[in-house]
């Protein structure tokens, strides 16, 4: 997500460093990076010898991306503003979401380069994250991801992951619900 960095941060890619680039794959989703979710198209870049091996597996895992989506992506990429302006687009959403949560009991450090925000809920509950996630969905109609799902042995860090790549109205509703917890 090299086009999504906030607060003056610069994306660091393995491909910027010759030794790492010689032995790395850089894979990304156009859908996520360029805010065209649902298009289901991405890319992989690597040195020729690694790409040769990648293609051996890829041909059996993915047949192809449909032609209309390939054409649409080619047209989309003709206009750099479509992706170069995404930094500001996502940072405004992050800032709006976090400004609304300042009066909540959640603790957070602003994310520096994604459209997800981690919220520490230790001032609200000592429940396991998977339990509170279910409760938030059932009782409040708000979805989040338990961070334990990403941790070794499902370690609970009392953190939830929220997506702020939403319409303003959706973020306003989420903030209202979360501030009541």
Residues 73 and 91 in one domain: no
Q: What is the pLDDT confidence band of residue 53, given thresholds at 50, 70 and 90? A: very high
69 assigned to some structural domain: yes
Pair 110, 100: CB distance under 8 Å: no
Confidence band (pLDDT; 50, 70, 90) for 27?
A: confident
Same domain (yes/no): 91, 137: yes
CATH of the domain at 91: 3.90.1150.10
Of 38, 55, 84, the residue that ends a domain is 84
- Give dist(CA 126, CA 105) in Å, integer: 13
| Residues 96 and 168 placed together within one structural domain of the fold | yes
Residue 154 covered by a domain: yes
- The residues pairing with 159 across neighbouring beta strands, listed in sequence order, are 120
- pTM of this prediction? 0.83
41-51 tens-digit pLDDT: 888 899 999 99
- Domain of 113? 87-179
Banded pLDDT at 113 (limits 50, 70, 90): confident
Picking from 84, 114, 146, the residue at the C-terminal end of a domain is 84
Residue 169 burial (CB < 10 Å; 0-12/13-18/19+)?
exposed
Q: Is residue 5 assigned to a domain?
A: no
Confidence band of 105 (pLDDT split at 50, 70, 90): very high
Q: Is 120 exposed, middle or buried (0-12, 13-18, 19+ CB in 10 A)?
A: middle
Q: Is 153 left (phi over 0), alpha (psi -120 to 50) or beta?
A: left
Q: Whole-angstrom Cα distance, residue 19 to residue 52? A: 19
Q: Give 62 or 121, the one with higher predicted confidence.
A: 121
Instruction: Name the nearest CA neighbour of 170 among 97, 112, 99.
Output: 97
Total number of domains constituting the chain: 2
Q: Indicate whether 49 belongs to any domain.
A: yes
Q: Rounded to an integer, what distance in angstroms lies between the CA atom of residue 174 and that of residue 133? A: 14
- Tell me which of 33, 67, 84 is where a domain ends: 84
Same domain for 121 and 74: no
Q: Are residues 68 and 137 in the same domain?
A: no
Together in a domain, 62 and 94: no
Residue at 63 is within a domain: yes
């Amino acid at each position: 997500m090299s086009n999504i960095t906030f607060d003056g941060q610069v994306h660091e890619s393995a491909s910027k460093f010759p030794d790492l680039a010689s032995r790395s794959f850089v894979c990304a989703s156009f859908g996520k990076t360029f805010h065209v979710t649902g298009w289901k198209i991405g890319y992989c870049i690597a040195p020729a010898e690694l790409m040769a091996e990648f293609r051996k597996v890829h041909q059996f895992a993915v047949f192809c991306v449909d032609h209309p989506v390939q054409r649409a992506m080619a047209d989309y990429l003709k206009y750099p503003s479509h992706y170069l302006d995404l930094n500001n687009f996502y940072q405004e959403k992050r800032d709006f979401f976090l400004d609304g949560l300042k009066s909540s009991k959640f603790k957070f450090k602003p994310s520096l380069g994604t459209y997800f925000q981690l919220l520490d809920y230790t001032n609200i509950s000592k429940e396991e994250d998977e339990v509170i996630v279910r409760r938030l969905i059932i009782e409040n109609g708000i979805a989040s991801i338990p961070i334990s799902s990403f941790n070794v042995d499902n370690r609970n860090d009392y953190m939830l992951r929220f997506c702020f790549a939403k319409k303003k109205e959706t973020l306003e509703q989420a903030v209202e619900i979360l501030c009541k917890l």
